[in-house]
C-alpha cells in the first residue's frame, strides 16, 4: 500500500575532484513509498532549487535499469539494499519511516569524482576499446544462420552480456577491482565461435588495460557478484582466468 515516510538523508557533497567534500544532512519528508530512489532525490532537488541552494548532482538516464548510468552507495551498499536492482529501480517502500540514509559516490581509484555523486567511469570504456569486440568490419559478415551455436552457450553468453557497465562491481570490491566487468565481456565472446579467434589476445589486452587504469586485483571476496544489479556470476572470472592463462602460455602476445 502507498504511504508516506519521513527520512533523514546524509548526502556526499563535493564540488569537484580537488574539493575535500563531506556529508550534508537533508530532511526528506512525506516521501511516497511508490517513488523510486531517484524520484525521491528529484523531490529533494526541487526543494533545494526553490530554496536557492544547489541541487545534488547524480548521473542517471533511462530510469529503467538498463543504461547503467545511475548508481551510488546507499547505506554502504552499491545500488542500495535490494538485490539485483539498480538504484533507479529501487523503490522507497524498501525503507521505513524515520530511517537515516547515507548516500555516497562510487569510491574507486580508477573512477575520478566529478561532482557530488557523479564519477568518471571512462576507464570501463578504455577496457572495451582495448579488446572487448570481435574484429569484423561492416559488410564482412556471412549469413546469420551459417554458424549454429549450442543453445546452452548462447544462453551463457547472454547471461554475461547482460552487464550494464554501471561500475557497482568495482565499487563493491574491497580492492576496487574491475574483474567482474572484464570477465563478463571476455566470457561472452569466448563462449561464441565468432569471438574465438581473438579470445587469447582479447583477455590479455583487456586485463592489461584494467591494470593500467588503476583497478585492483581479484581476491575472491565475491562482493561484486552480490552487488551486481544484473546478477553477473563470478564463474565468469574463473573463465577469464582460464582464457588469460591459456593466452599467456600459448600466445605470441607479451
Partner 1 sequence: MQLDGKVPGGPLETKWDRHRFELKLVNAANKRKFNIIVVGTGLAGSSAAASLAELGYEVSVFCIQDSPRRAHSIAAQGGMNAAKNYTNDGDSVFRLFYDTIKGGDFRAREGNVYRLAQISNNIIDQCVAQGVPFARDYGGLLANRSFGGAQVSRTFYARGQTGQQLLLGAYSALSRQIGIGKVKMYTRREMMDLVLVDGHARGIVVRNLLNGEFETYAADAVVLATGGYGNVFFLSTNAVSCNVGAAFRAYRKGALFANPCFTQIHPTCIPVHGDFQSKLTLMSESLRNDGRVWVPRKQGDTRAPNDIPESDRLYYLEEKYPAFGNLVPRDVASRNAKEQCDKGLGVGTGRAVYLDFADAIKRDGKATVEKKYGNLFEMYERIVAEDPYQVPMMIYPASHYTMGGLWVDYNLMSNVPGLFVLGEANFSDHGANRLGASALMQGLGDGYFVIPYTIGGYLSQWYGKPKVKTDNPAFKESLDQVTQRKEKIMALKGKRTVENIHREMGLILWDNCGMARNEAGLTKAKDQIRALRDEFWQNCTVPGSDKDFNLAVEKAGRLADFLEFAEVMVMDALNRNESCGCHLREESQTEEGEALRKDDEYCYVAAWEYAGYGKDPVLNKEPLVFENVKLTQRSYK
How many other C-beta atoms are found inside a 10 Å radius of the C-beta of residue 238? 13
171 binds partner 1, rule: CB under 8 A? no
* Residue 91: C-alpha distances to residues 59, 188, 206 (Å): 17, 31, 35
Nearer to partner 1, 63 or 246 (CB): 63
Nearer to partner 1, 198 or 221 (CB): 198
Among 9, 73, 110, 130, binds partner 1 (CB under 8 A): 130
Q: Least distance from C-beta 25 to partner 1, angstroms?
A: 19
* Residue 55: C-alpha distances to residues 41, 45, 93 (Å): 9, 5, 24
Nearer to partner 1, 98 or 139 (CB): 139
220 binds partner 1, rule: CB under 8 A? no
63 binds partner 1, rule: CB under 8 A? yes
Counting residues that bind partner 1 (by CB under 8 A) gives: 78
- Strand, helix or coil for residue 26: strand
Among 18, 20, 25, 140, binds partner 1 (CB under 8 A): 140
Nearer to partner 1, 177 or 209 (CB): 209
How many other C-beta atoms are found inside a 10 Å radius of the C-beta of residue 38? 19
Residues 40-59 binding partner 1 (CB under 8 A) are: 42-43, 46, 48-50, 52-55, 57, 59
208 binds partner 1, rule: CB under 8 A? no
Among 25, 143, 250, 254, binds partner 1 (CB under 8 A): 143
Among 11, 89, 234, 239, binds partner 1 (CB under 8 A): 89
204 binds partner 1, rule: CB under 8 A? no
- Picking from 195, 72, 177, 188, the residue whose alpha carbon sits closest to that of residue 124 is 177
Angle 56-216-87 from CA coordinates, rounded to 5°: 30
Among 7, 26, 28, 68, binds partner 1 (CB under 8 A): 68
- Nearest-10 Cα torsion for 163, 17, 20, 115: -60
Nearer to partner 1, 10 or 112 (CB): 112
Taken as a whole, the chain contains a residue count of 254
Nearer to partner 1, 35 or 237 (CB): 35
Whole-angstrom distance, CA of residue 10 vs CA of residue 27: 9
Nearer to partner 1, 194 or 248 (CB): 194
- Picking from 119, 216, 233, 210, the residue whose alpha carbon sits closest to that of residue 176 is 216
Among 71, 132, 216, 229, binds partner 1 (CB under 8 A): 132
Q: Least distance from C-beta 224 to partner 1, angstroms?
A: 19
What burial letters (b/e) apply to 53-66, b meaning 16+ CB within 10 Å?
eeebebbbeebebe
Amino acid at each position: 500500500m502507498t504511504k508516506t515516510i519521513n527520512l533523514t538523508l546524509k548526502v556526499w557533497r563535493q564540488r569537484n575532484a580537488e574539493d575535500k567534500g563531506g556529508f550534508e544532512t537533508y530532511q526528506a519528508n512525506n516521501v511516497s513509498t511508490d517513488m523510486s530512489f531517484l524520484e525521491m532525490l528529484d523531490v529533494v532537488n526541487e526543494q533545494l532549487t526553490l530554496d536557492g541552494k544547489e541541487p545534488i548532482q547524480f548521473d542517471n538516464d533511462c530510469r529503467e535499469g538498463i543504461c547503467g548510468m545511475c548508481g551510488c552507495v546507499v547505506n554502504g551498499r552499491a545500488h542500495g539494499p535490494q538485490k539485483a536492482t539498480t538504484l533507479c529501480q529501487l523503490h522507497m517502500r524498501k525503507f521505513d519511516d524515520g530511517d537515516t540514509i547515507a548516500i555516497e559516490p562510487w569510491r574507486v581509484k580508477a573512477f575520478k569524482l566529478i561532482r557530488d555523486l557523479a564519477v568518471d567511469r571512462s576507464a570501463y570504456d578504455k577496457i572495451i576499446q582495448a579488446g572487448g569486440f570481435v574484429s569484423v568490419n561492416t559488410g564482412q559478415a556471412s549469413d546469420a544462420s551459417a554458424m549454429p551455436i549450442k543453445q546452452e552457450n548462447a544462453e551463457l553468453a547472454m547471461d554475461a552480456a547482460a552487464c550494464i557497465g554501471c561500475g557497482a562491481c568495482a565499487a563493491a570490491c574491497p580492492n576496487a577491482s574491475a574483474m567482474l566487468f572484464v570477465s563478463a565481456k571476455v566470457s561472452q565472446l569466448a563462449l561464441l565461435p565468432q569471438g574465438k579467434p581473438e579470445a587469447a589476445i582479447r583477455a590479455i589486452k583487456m586485463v592489461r588495460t584494467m591494470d593500467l587504469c588503476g583497478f585492483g586485483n581479484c581476491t575472491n571476496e565475491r562482493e561484486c557478484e552480490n552487488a551486481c544489479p544484473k546478477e553477473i556470476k563470478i564463474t565468469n572470472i574463473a573463465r577469464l582466468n582460464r582464457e588469460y592463462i591459456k593466452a599467456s602460455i600459448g600466445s605470441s602476445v607479451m
